Amino acid sequence: MMPGCLDRYLRRGGELTSGLFVWNVTDYAFDYALYPFVVWKLGPVIGGGIMALASLVFCLVLLRIYDGLRRDWLGIEFVKGLRHYEGTSRWRRLLAWMLSRGDGIAFVVLSAKYDPFITTAYMRRGAFNGMNRRDWRIFLGSWLLANLIWIAVCAGGVEVVRALLGG
């Protein structure tokens, strides 16, 4: 029998590990397989538009699940605390520095690096409390920025591959 504290840490670790695993697998499949494939097949305007709409639905579903479970299965609430990180990890110090510069920088960095789900969950005030007008603006702005960036990246990648293959 484990002491209660150790048992809680193991359960929390398992929850974060499984949550991050599932999110990363689905996110990578969406971003690095499906999105580029659709842009390659249908072009940046039609394919990008279809994938932007798919990402809108996907991120809204994830927010709904996140709020419905009322559990921080991705560690987002932990990351909110990284604004004040003072440890030795260079990456965490850089992330803390960027996030502490204000909501504008955090919005751009999180939208470009992650997606509207992560950006909105991170930037909203409180946790698991649904979406207010400010949250919807963050979500839709992040959705637009993230998808414009990703369409450009995918279209550029498709053109590079075409050039390398001579066609």
Q: Has residue 141 been placed in a domain?
A: yes
- Domain-located, residue 61: yes
Range of the domain at 12: 4-154
pTM as predicted: 0.82
> Taking all residues of the chain, what is their mean pLDDT, rounded to a whole number?
88
The first and second tokens of residue 78, run together, are 């932990």
Q: How confident is the model at residue 59 (pLDDT cuts 50, 70, 90)?
A: very high
**Residue 167's pLDDT is what?**
65
DSSP state of 81: G
In a domain, 165, yes or no: no
Q: Which pLDDT value is given to residue 47?
A: 97
User: Cα dihedral angle (13, 118, 55, 23), rounded to 10 degrees?
Assistant: -10
Dist CA 48 CA 53 (whole Å): 9
46: nearest Cα among 155, 144, 142: 155
**pLDDT tens figures, 85-108:** 777 888 778 877 877 788 898 899
Structurally, how many domains does the chain consist of? 1
Q: Is residue 145 part of a domain?
A: yes
Residue 64 belongs to a domain: yes
Q: What is the pLDDT of residues 2-44, one digit of tens each?
A: 566 777 878 878 888 888 898 889 999 999 999 999 999 999 9
